């Protein structure tokens, strides 16, 4: 009988997302550089807010997230009525696919794009469409060539994960203006805060009705474990997404910690500066060992090896030394390793180990 109980088409095509690993058997003192986490953790104000909410856990949370949306609006200069908050930006991506794409519709993303776009498209019953990048950089012409009358959503992360590369505002505007009329462009700004002076695409959203931006507290805010993200978009899209959002999708703890975090921009600025300094240091150290990286604008670098075999051997060597980085074969980059920019000691340790690995060969 159970063969008659079947999921919706597309669901069984989903390959399970694998998070970055955090353990190596037999090694106690591991350095985890596999999930693009902030090595300094959350800021003090976020931690204080977390403790405060312990006393009100018997209360249901607020359903409209007004206080957090106003705080985000003030900090970023955005209309709070055009903001929606979710369980990580993953949930916002899920809402977008659920609301705008179904069987027969296409969801477009790039060759080395974030895996959640494919997963959410398949979960909604839509057809994922992948277009090529140009040397690990988003290619606007390839995206436009890949669009059809069935394209409903176009996802690009800018900067992208796992490449770290980004395209400029003019290219984004050109893309938005040339998309077919039924397609919504989604700019995933998970790493936007790492780029000095970049608004994550907010100004492009503000001036158009076919562009949406997602953001997260998981990266620079050091709150990946809390699960909170947000989106900013045209009013008509926010209105649609709010209809499918569960009223209690976010706990009081998530809401209050995120609000304290977003109001603490001094902490964000400190993390941004430290990341930029160490990212440059790490990329130069790897280059000296004969391992090139593209110029990354995010909190990781993509280290390129000769081939998949060398990347695998280096990963195994790092692991045996207690360092966990990310293999990116599932992103069509089997010859690369994605390395999160950790604190100074971790950066030195991973660079030193890769030097040893290269020296032995
Ligand atoms: C890490 C990441 C996110 C964040 O996901 P959350 O659900 O907010 O933790 C979104 N997009 C990309 C490209 C990422 O790398």
Domain assignment of residue 5, yes or no: no
In angstroms, what is the span from residue 88 Cα to ligand 1's centroid? Answer: 7
69 and 108 inside one domain: yes
252 and 144 inside one domain: yes
159 and 224 inside one domain: yes
180 and 78 inside one domain: yes
36 and 149 inside one domain: no
For the CA of 36, the nearest atom of ligand 1: 1
* pLDDT the model gives residue 22: 79
Confidence category of residue 319, pLDDT binned at 50, 70, 90:
very high
Q: What does the pLDDT average to over 240-250?
A: 97
Instruction: Select from 263, 294, 314 the last residue of a domain.
Output: 263
Interatomic CA distance for residues 117 and 331, integer angstroms: 12
Q: What does the pLDDT average to over 328-344?
A: 97
Domain assignment of residue 9, yes or no: no
Whether the predicted pLDDT of 2 surpasses 80: no
Q: What does the pLDDT average to over 242-263?
A: 98
Domain assignment of residue 7, yes or no: no
pLDDT tens digit string along 103-142?
999 999 999 999 999 999 999 999 999 999 999 999 999 9
216 and 281 inside one domain: no
Domain assignment of residue 307, yes or no: yes
Which amino acid residue places its CA nearest to atom 1 of ligand 1? 190
Domain assignment of residue 3, yes or no: no
Domain hosting 284: range is 20-41+266-360
Q: What does the pLDDT average to over 14-31?
A: 83
CATH number of domain containing 303: 3.90.1150.10
In angstroms, what is the span from residue 165 Cα to ligand 1's centroid? Answer: 15
**Global model pTM greater than 0.85:** yes
Q: What does the pLDDT average to over 268-289?
A: 98
For the CA of 227, the nearest atom of ligand 1: 9
52 and 26 inside one domain: no
335 and 348 inside one domain: yes
Mean of pLDDT over the chain: 96
In angstroms, what is the span from residue 34 Cα to ligand 1's centroid? Answer: 13
Whether the predicted pLDDT of 1 surpasses 60: no
Question: Is 110's C-beta closer than 6 angstroms to any atom of ligand 1?
Answer: no
Instruction: Select from 218, 240, 263 the last residue of a domain.
Output: 263
* pLDDT the model gives residue 293: 97
pLDDT tens digit string along 188-233?
999 999 999 999 999 999 999 999 999 999 999 999 999 999 999 9
In angstroms, what is the span from residue 112 Cα to ligand 1's centroid? Answer: 14
Which residue of 216, 224, 227, 341 sits with most ligand 1 atoms within 8 Å of its CB, as the best mutation to test the pocket? 216
Domain assignment of residue 347, yes or no: yes
Instruction: Select from 263, 296, 315 the last residue of a domain.
Output: 263
pLDDT tens digit string along 46-97?
999 999 999 999 999 999 999 999 999 999 999 999 999 999 999 999 999 9
317 and 222 inside one domain: no
Q: How many domains does the chain have?
A: 2
Number of neighbouring beta carbons within 10 Å of residue 199: 18
CATH number of domain containing 164: 3.40.640.10
56 and 194 inside one domain: yes
209 and 68 inside one domain: yes
Domain assignment of residue 6, yes or no: no
315 and 340 inside one domain: yes
Question: Is 229's C-beta closer than 6 angstroms to any atom of ligand 1?
Answer: yes
Domain assignment of residue 186, yes or no: yes
């Amino acid at each position: 009988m159970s063969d008659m109980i079947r999921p919706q088409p597309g669901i069984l095509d989903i390959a399970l997302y694998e998070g970055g690993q955090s353990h190596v058997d037999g090694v106690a003192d591991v350095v985890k550089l596999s999930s693009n986490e902030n090595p300094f953790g959350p800021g003090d104000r976020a931690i204080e807010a977390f403790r405060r909410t312990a006393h009100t856990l018997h209360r249901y949370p607020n359903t409209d997230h007004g206080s957090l949306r106003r705080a985000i609006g003030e900090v970023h200069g955005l209309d709070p009525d055009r903001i929606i908050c979710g369980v990580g930006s993953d949930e916002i991506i899920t809402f977008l696919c659920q609301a705008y794409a179904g069987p027969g519709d296409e969801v477009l993303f790039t060759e080395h794009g974030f895996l959640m776009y494919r997963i959410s498209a398949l979960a909604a019953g839509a057809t994922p469409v992948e277009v090529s990048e140009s040397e690990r950089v988003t290619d606007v012409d390839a995206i436009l060539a890949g669009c059809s009358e069935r394209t409903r959503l176009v996802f690009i992360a800018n900067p992208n994960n796992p490449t770290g590369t980004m395209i400029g505002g003019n290219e984004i505007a050109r893309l938005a203006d040339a998309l077919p009329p039924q397609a919504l462009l989604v700019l995933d700004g998970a790493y936007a805060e790492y780029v000095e002076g970049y608004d994550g695409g907010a100004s492009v959203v503000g001036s158009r009705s076919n562009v949406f931006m997602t953001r997260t507290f998981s990266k620079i805010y050091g709150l990946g474990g809390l699960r909170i993200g947000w989106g900013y978009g045209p009013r008509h899209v926010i209105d649609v997404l709010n209809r499918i959002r569960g009223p209690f999708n976010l706990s009081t703890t998530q809401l209050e910690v995120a609000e304290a975090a977003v109001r603490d921009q001094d902490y964000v600025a400190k993390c941004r500066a430290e990341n930029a300094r160490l990212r440059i240091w790490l990329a130069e150290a790897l280059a000296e060992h004969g391992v090139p990286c593209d110029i990354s604008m995010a909190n990781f670098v993509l280290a390129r090896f000769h081939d998949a075999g060398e990347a695998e051997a280096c990963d195994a060597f790092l692991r045996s030394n207690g360092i966990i980085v990310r293999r990116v074969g599932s992103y069509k980059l089997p010859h690369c390793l994605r390395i999160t920019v950790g604190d100074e000691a971790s950066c030195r340790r991973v660079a030193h180990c890769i030097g040893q690995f290269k020296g032995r060969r």
